[in-house]
Structures are given as C-alpha cells and as structure tokens.
C-alpha cells in the first residue's frame, strides 16, 4: 500500500460537486468519498507504523539507559579499586621508606 496523501484539508473544504437534475452527481461523490477513505486508510497505516517505531525506539532507549547505568556503575567501582590500590601502594611505600630510614639510622649509630 502506498502511503501517499492525495487530499489536503484545503482540497476537501474547497471541493465542488457538479449538480445534476436531481442533485449532486452520485458517481462524483462516490469517487470523492473513495479518495477520502483511501487517505484515511493511509493515515491509519502511517499512524500504526509511527506507533510501532516509537515503541521500538523506546525499547532501545530503555536498553541503552540500562547499559549506561551498568557502565557508570562499573566505572565507579573501577575508580574505587584504583584509589584503594593507590592508597595501599602508598602505604607500602611509606612502610618501606620508614624501614629503610630505621636501617640507615641504626647503621650510623
């Protein structure tokens, strides 16, 4: 089905039907109503496609938010581990330095 919109609100409002002896031409009115019905069918199809796309995009967004949250949590945990490792390393260095200073002072005496 082709999603081409044939009518515009202006065309609908300005549509003039030919008046015959007993009134409007039934064939012309029927044809016009067929075009209107086809347009509404196209609108409904386009609307359904849009809803499906919105739903798909919302699902993707939700998954990406979860991934971002996981990555952020992992990043924070890694920063904490690095900080703790640096602190432990610094403490070890200070202990070694203190031990070396003690040994140097003991040798001087």
- Report the pLDDT value the prediction gives residue 109, as an integer from 0 to 100: 61
The three-point CA angle 93-98-100 to 5° equals 95
Question: Based on the structure, what is the number of domains in the chain?
Answer: 1
Distance CA 100, CA 103 (A): 5
SS3 at position 24: strand
In a domain, 50, yes or no: yes
pLDDT, tens digit, 9 for 90 and up, residues 39-64 = 888 888 898 999 999 999 999 999 99
- Report the pLDDT value the prediction gives residue 70, as an integer from 0 to 100: 95
Distance CA 62, CA 52 (A): 15
- Report the pLDDT value the prediction gives residue 104, as an integer from 0 to 100: 80
Host domain of residue 55: 9-107
Q: Are 42 and 4 in contact (CB under 8 A)?
A: yes
Distance CA 86, CA 89 (A): 5
Residue 1 has pLDDT above 60, yes or no: no
In a domain, 92, yes or no: yes
Mean model confidence pLDDT for the chain: 85
In a domain, 1, yes or no: no
Task: Give me the residues paired with residue 20 across strands.
Answer: 23
**Arithmetic mean of pLDDT, 21-47:** 84
**Arithmetic mean of pLDDT, 100-105:** 81
In a domain, 70, yes or no: yes
Is the model more confident about 51 or about 87? 51
In a domain, 65, yes or no: yes
């Amino acid at each position: 089905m082709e999603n081409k919109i044939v009518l515009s609100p202006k065309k609908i409002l300005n549509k003039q039907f030919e008046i015959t002896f007993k009134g409007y031409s039934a064939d012309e009115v029927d044809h016009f109503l067929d075009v209107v019905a086809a347009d509404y069918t196209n609108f409904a199809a386009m609307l359904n496609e849009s809803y499906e796309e919105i739903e798909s995009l919302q699902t993707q967004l939700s998954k990406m938010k979860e991934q971002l949250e996981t990555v952020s949590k992992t990043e924070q945990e890694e920063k904490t581990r690095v900080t703790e490792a640096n602190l432990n390393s610094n403490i070890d260095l200070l202990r070694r330095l203190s031990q070396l200073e003690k040994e140097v002072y003991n040798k001087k005496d």
